[in-house]
Amino acid sequence: MPDDTSQHVEKINSERNKMLEALFTAQSIILAEIAATTSAGPYLSRLVDRRNAITMERNQVIDAADAAVLNLPTVQAALSNLEKLTKEATAEANVMKTTTDKITRATNLLNIAHKFTDLITTRLE
């Protein structure tokens, strides 16, 4: 993966992590306030609503960051190639079930798996 894509992925992950940390801090404070609130009522209800909203927002931040990374053009190209390799590996494994030459088929499958791993380490890291 070119350096600029790698940097984009790292930046997205870094900013996502900072946002998640801030949301986690806020959620912890809200949970402590809920625990300290001694009576039911509108204040407690609003605290619970905020806790739930923070939880939902944390999930949305995670999903949005994942989507941003997955939508990078080089990641899309790599995913397409990973899909092709997975199909090849699945076909090879299925042939292995019925063939007498299991060693050759296993070697073929290992070669495909190596290409898969190589693609991940060179394009997605």
Are 122 and 78 found together in one domain? Answer: yes
User: Do residues 88 and 65 both lie within one domain?
Assistant: no
Number of domains in the chain: 2
Q: Cα separation of 112 and 17, whole Å?
A: 34
CA-nearest of 65, 52, 63, 64 to 23 is 52
User: Domain end: 53, 71, 89, which one?
Assistant: 71
pLDDT digits (tens, 9 = 90+) for 91-110: 999 988 888 888 888 999 99
State which residues form the domain around 90. 73-125
On whether both 88 and 117 belong to a single domain, the answer is yes
Instruction: Please indicate, yes or no, whether residues 83 and 58 belong to a single structural domain of this protein.
Output: no
pLDDT single digits (tens) 23-64:
999 999 999 999 999 999 999 999 999 999 999 999 999 888
